[in-house]
Amino acid sequence: MKKVAIISCGQSKFGSFVEKTYEDLFAEAYLEAITHIDNFERSDIEEAFVGSLAFGGSQLGNMSALIGDAINVVGIPAARVENACGSSSFALRYAIYSIMSGQNKIAIAGGVEKMQDISKKSRLWWFGVAGDIKWERLSGMTFPGNYALMATRHMYEFGTKKEDISRCAVKNHKYAAMNPKAQYQREITLEQAINAPMVAWPLTVFDCCPLTDGASIAILCDAELAKKYTDTPVHVIGMGAGTDYLALYRRESLTRIEAAIKASRAAYNMAKIEPKNVQVAEVHDCFTIAEILAYEDCGFCKKGEGGLFSHEGQSEVGGKVPINTGGGLKAKGHPIGATGVAQIYEVWKQITERHRNQVDGAEVGLTHNVGGTGSAAAITILKRG
C-alpha cells in the first residue's frame, strides 16, 4: 500500500462574497496552493474530489464538472462528495485511498460553498437538510437548539460552566484576528461572549459559527514523489471515520459524539500514536460546546473535563494541545463543504511552519470534522515528512 503526502494546500478568503462564483472561490484556493510547490503542472492532476453541500441548490447536480472547468482540468475523473459539514474531509479520504491503492499518483481534494447569496429563510432550510427531518426539523428543532441540548446536559452531568464553554469563542476570535483569511478578524471579551443576544440557552450569538462563502484545496501525491515538488511534504499517517444515528433521541448520550470517538480511535490506531502525541489540532467548533466535546472525544482530556481544559487554557498556543489556531469555524468561518480541508490547510501550515499563530516544533497534527450534530465524523492525522 502506497504512503500519501500532502505537498500543498490553499484556501480562499472566507466571508460573504455575493459577487464571487463557486469557480472564483475554488480557483482562488488552487492558485494559492500551486505557489507553494515547484515543478508542478496542472496536467499532473489525475483525479479530483470536491466536497460541497451545494447550499441553496446551486449547481447541485454537477459540481465536479464546474470545478474542473474553474481550474482547467477538464477531462480528468472528478466527483462531488456530500456528507454534510464533513463533505471535504470525506473527499480527502477518497483522494487518499486513490493514491494508497496505486490508482493515482497525484490527486486533489477540496471543497467549496456559497451560503450568503440566498434569503435567510432559504439558508435555514438548506442548513437543516443535514439534520433529522422526521423527529427534529418538523418539530421545530434547529442546530443551535440541538447543540444547546448537548450543552445543558454537559453542564448538568459534569458541572461545566457556561463561562468555560464561551472561552472557546474568545480564544478562536483571538486567533482569527491574526488570520487574514478569517471571516471575523476581531477579538471579543468573555463578557461580550456571555452577554451577547441569546440564540438557544445557554448558547449566545458568539457561541455559534457564521454562514460562510469559501473554498479550500489540498494537493496529494504518492509520498515517494513528494520531494520532487517540495522540501516540506506532510505525510498522512492516520485517518478514521464513523457514523451515528441522525436523530439525537436515538443516541445513548448527548455528551459524546460516538462517530468522532470511533473515528479518532481508528486514526490513532492507523498512525500508531496516542492523543498525547498530537501537538496541534483543528476541531469542529460549529458551536462552542462542540469544541468542548471534541476535546474529550479526541482524548485530549478525560470525559467531563472539557470545560476545565478550556478554563485552564490547555487549548491555547502554549497549552497542552493548541486548538483552532486559525480561528476555527467560530471565527474563521464555516463554508460547509470546504471546512474539512480548510482544517487540513491550517494544520499543514503549522507543520510546515507557515502559520501566523505558530506552535513551536509542531510535527504532528490532527483534524476533527463532523457532519450535522455528529452523525458523521472524520479524523485525519498528519506528520512532518
Query: What's the grid cell of residue 304?
Result: 467531563
Q: Grid coordinates in use for 288?
A: 462552542
Is the link from the previous residue into 202 a cis peptide, with omega within 30 of 0? yes
Q: Active-site residue among 154, 173, 284, 334?
A: 334
Q: Is 154 a catalytic residue?
A: no
Asked if 29 and 20 count as a contact pair (C-beta separation under 8 A), the reply is no
| CA angle (27 as vertex; 214, 211 as ends), nearest 5 | 10
Distance from C-alpha of 153 to C-alpha of 147, rounded to nearest angstrom: 10
CA nearest to 222, candidates 70, 46, 33: 46
Strands 234-243 and 376-384 turn out to be antiparallel
CB atoms within 10 A of CB 337: 34
C-alpha distances in Å from residue 382, one per residue of 54, 236, 315, 333:
28, 5, 19, 22
Confirm if 76 and 183 have CB atoms less than 8 A apart.
no
Residue 14: name the closest of 329, 291, 322, 280 by CA. 329
Catalytic status, residue 284: no
Instruction: Please say whether the beta carbons of 299 and 260 come within 8 A.
Output: no
3-state secondary structure of 280: strand
Q: Which uninterrupted H or E stretch holds 65?
A: helix 63-70
- Is residue 214 within a helix (H) or strand (E), and if so which, with residue range? strand 214-222
DSSP 37-60: -SS--GGG--EEEEE---GGGTTT
Q: Which is catalytic among the residues 9, 36, 85, 168?
A: 85
Burial call 29-53: b when 16+ CB within 10 Å, e when fewer: bbebbbebbeebeeebbbbbbbbbb
The residues assigned a catalytic role are: 85, 334
